[in-house]
Each structure stands twice: as structure tokens, then as C-alpha cells.
Amino acid sequence: MTKSAPTVLTFGCRLNAYESEVMREHARASESGVETVIVNTCAVTAEAERQARQAIRKIRREKPDARIVVTGCAAQAHPETFAAMPEIDQILGNAEKMQPRIFSAPPAEKIVVGDIMQVREVASHLVSGFEGRARAFVEVQQGCDHRCTFCIIPFGRGPNRSVPMGRVVGQIRELVAAGYGEVVLTGVDVTAYGGDLPGQPSLGQLVRRLLALVPELPRLRLSSLDPVEVDKDLLTAIAEEERLMPHIHLSVQAGDDTILKRMKRRHLRGDVLELARHIRDLRPDVALGADIIAGFPTEDDAMFQHSLDLVDEAGLTHLHVFPFSARPGTPAARMPKVRGDVVKDRAARLRAKGEAALAEFLASRVGRDAQVLIERDGRGHCGHYLPVCVGGLEAEPGAIVQVRIVGVTDGVLVGREQ
């Protein structure tokens, strides 16, 4: 029986990207002989779900005989929606998708989705690599115990649970041995790391420990952090660890205290400003980024202005802007909505604000040196997670090169190899 390489379509976050690699390795090992297409969905916005359904229909048209398996947070939260699609052969839950034999010995039922709230452990996997990527994502934490009023993720991912430190270190050693120059620690609420482990180690302790235990790891990057859960060891690592990249992304969501309270976030505007100031004192050249939602229900012009002003006051340069998207079953979906055109306009204004801040930051890098992780065709990202093009460079993806930044073209830094 010939093995056919599975096709994996990934939507959403870095955690999904990590899990897609695990599924790819499991499906590749199966001897089914039938071409398998795995669609790993995201439920963060209605748009993400719509795109997944559209992609599934297209795949079925192009591959009438393929076995189409749909999983991820949208499949976990709304299995019946996908079960109604004749194009799909099976729907797997977020826990089920990680079982090693789920592709080689698939259950007969169309819907194989368990109660994610009952899951207490993070399944143990080691991935050997990331197809077509120069940086590797490593899952350190899963699920979330918070209940922000706009968010559906806890219902797709279940409770907070952490990967024991030893396994994280083992995974990173394997990836560095495989040639990866950069690793990104990922999860749903990574700052909750360790809360469920013996001795309750913090994310900061994990970072310092793994940098000590894996001296051969050139670059470590963190995914989004909850502003009020940044622990003192993490601040020490930010201050002292050269190999921890100077790019910190914060899950801010809004710049107005009334809106933050209605979102049930655990921080206020002042906490974000204080943290930004503290991090900048510890690491003056740090780049700060943030997730911000535009048009959360009840947000008026003055409240929105507080989000715009926060970009300047906190010195944010890497902005991820999300137009509010009501998720069925969340408290925010029952709150009085902001008109759709106003939501769109606010998102556009926030993006423009972010782009202006980023352009200023890019210009400030000219004349300075940078280390660039090459991804492909002489292009990659520096430590600040800025795009860099190094003309005339013959370097393999994954190589880390030293450059002098000599200019900016179309939002990309131009580097000359040193």
C-alpha cells in the first residue's frame, strides 16, 4: 500500500501550526493509501470559520476522492455545523486530533469530538520539524481558565494545562539538532504556564531554565503575554538574556478601562503603561506589540480614542487589530453592538496608527546592526521581528546572518551582510 503525503491546511494561531505538524507526522505514518486532507480550523472570528468552510468546499471540488478531516477550535466548538457539510468525512475534537492512531485507525463515527473541558493533560508529542519553516513553534501550554466576555477559545481548548519542563527542553534540543535557529514558545495563555504543575513553575522560570539547559539554542521568542501575568523571572530574562528576542507582544485588547472591565480582562490601562515602562527600563531597545479589538460592544468615540492614544503612550509598534466579531454563546455577543461601519472604520484607524508607528520604528533601525533569521530568498526577520531583505545573500533558510541595516523599502528593512 503506497503512503500518500497528507495535505494540512492550518488556520489561526501558532499553536494550531504546531499541532498541524504533529498531525502531519501521524497521518504520514498511516498506511491508508487514501489521500488525506486535514483542515485545522480557528474559531477566533466568524470570518476565520467562513474561510475554513470555503476552503473545504474548494478542496472537495479539486480532490473528489480525498478523505477530508476537519478539526481545530471551530470543529471543537461547532461540530454540528461541519457535520452538516457533505464534503467532510470526519470531524475531530482538539484532543482527539492529537492521538497518534487517529489517522491510521479512524473511528467509524463522523463526529469524534469529546468534552474538552474534561481534558487535564497536554498530549505528549515531539515534532521533528516544521515543513517549509525556518522557525519552530513549541507548545508549552494549552487551554485557558479565564472567561473574557468576547472569547470562544476556552470552549475550543479546555482548561489551562502545561507541558512539563523536561519535555519542553527535550523538544527544543531535538529542533535545534534538526537545524532550527529560532524557537517560539506557544500556547493559548502562555503566562498561565505551570499553574497546574507540581511546584507551580512560572513561564519566566521555564524560559530561564531552558536557556540554561539548551546553550546551543540561538534565539528564543515568546508568543502573546497577558499583561498582568508577566512574572519577575520573565522580567529578569527580558533584561538579561540576549537570546530572548527583544520583541514582546501583549494581549491588551483595549485602551479604555470601562471596556476592559466589560471584557473581563484582568488588567487596566495603567497596568499596560506601567509594564511597558518597566520592560523598556530593563531592555531599552525592546519592540512592543499588542492585540487590540476595535468596536467592542458599547465602545463610544471617547473610549476608542483611549485605545488609539495607548499606541503612542505605550510605544507600541507591532499592532494586531481585530474588528469585533460576535462569537455565538459569548456574553459580548448579547451586549449592545457598535454599528458595523463604525467597527470597520475604527479598525482601519487603529491599523493606520499601527502602520505609522511601525514605519517610524523601521526608520529608526537604519544604520544599526541586526541578526537576521533567513526564511527564504535572502529574506527573514531580525530580533525585533521586523522583515529584512539581504540582497545577494546565498544563505539557507534557518541561517542567522549579521547585517547592517542600510535602508527601508516598502516596509522592509534592507540589510547588507557584515
In the complex, the smallest distance separating the C-beta of residue 167 from ligand SF4, rounded to whole angstroms, is 22
Closer by beta carbon to ligand SF4, 151 or else 279: 151
In the complex, the smallest distance separating the C-beta of residue 319 from ligand SF4, rounded to whole angstroms, is 17
Cβ within 8 Å of residue 66, ≥6 positions away: 7, 34, 35, 36, 37, 59, 60
Q: Can you tell me which residue has the cell 466568524? A: 46
In the complex, the smallest distance separating the C-beta of residue 351 from ligand SF4, rounded to whole angstroms, is 20
Give the separation between CA 270 and CA 262, rounded to whole angstroms.
16
Closer by beta carbon to ligand SF4, 320 or else 404: 320
In the complex, the smallest distance separating the C-beta of residue 30 from ligand SF4, rounded to whole angstroms, is 32
In the complex, the smallest distance separating the C-beta of residue 129 from ligand SF4, rounded to whole angstroms, is 27
Binding site for ligand SF4 (CB under 6 A): 144, 146-148, 151, 153-154, 188-189
In the complex, the smallest distance separating the C-beta of residue 189 from ligand SF4, rounded to whole angstroms, is 5
In the complex, the smallest distance separating the C-beta of residue 16 from ligand SF4, rounded to whole angstroms, is 13
Give the separation between CA 94 and CA 208, rounded to whole angstroms.
30
The answer to whether 19 and 97 are in contact (CB under 8 A) is: yes
In the complex, the smallest distance separating the C-beta of residue 263 from ligand SF4, rounded to whole angstroms, is 8
Closer by beta carbon to ligand SF4, 90 or else 224: 224
Closer by beta carbon to ligand SF4, 12 or else 79: 12
Residue 150 φ then ψ, to 5°: -95, -5
Closer by beta carbon to ligand SF4, 146 or else 243: 146
Cα 168 to Cα 25, 186, 254, 282, distances in angstroms? 18, 11, 32, 26
Closer by beta carbon to ligand SF4, 263 or else 357: 263
Cα 312 to Cα 276, 288, 354, distances in angstroms? 11, 11, 9
Strands lying side by side in the sheet with 7-10: 7-10, 36-41, 67-72, 90-92, 111-112
Closer by beta carbon to ligand SF4, 7 or else 258: 258
Q: Which amino acid is at 102?
A: I
Inter-axis angle of helices 232-240 and 203-213, nearest 10: 40
Closer by beta carbon to ligand SF4, 39 or else 188: 188
In the complex, the smallest distance separating the C-beta of residue 143 from ligand SF4, rounded to whole angstroms, is 8
Closer by beta carbon to ligand SF4, 68 or else 151: 151
Closer by beta carbon to ligand SF4, 249 or else 283: 249
In the complex, the smallest distance separating the C-beta of residue 414 from ligand SF4, rounded to whole angstroms, is 36
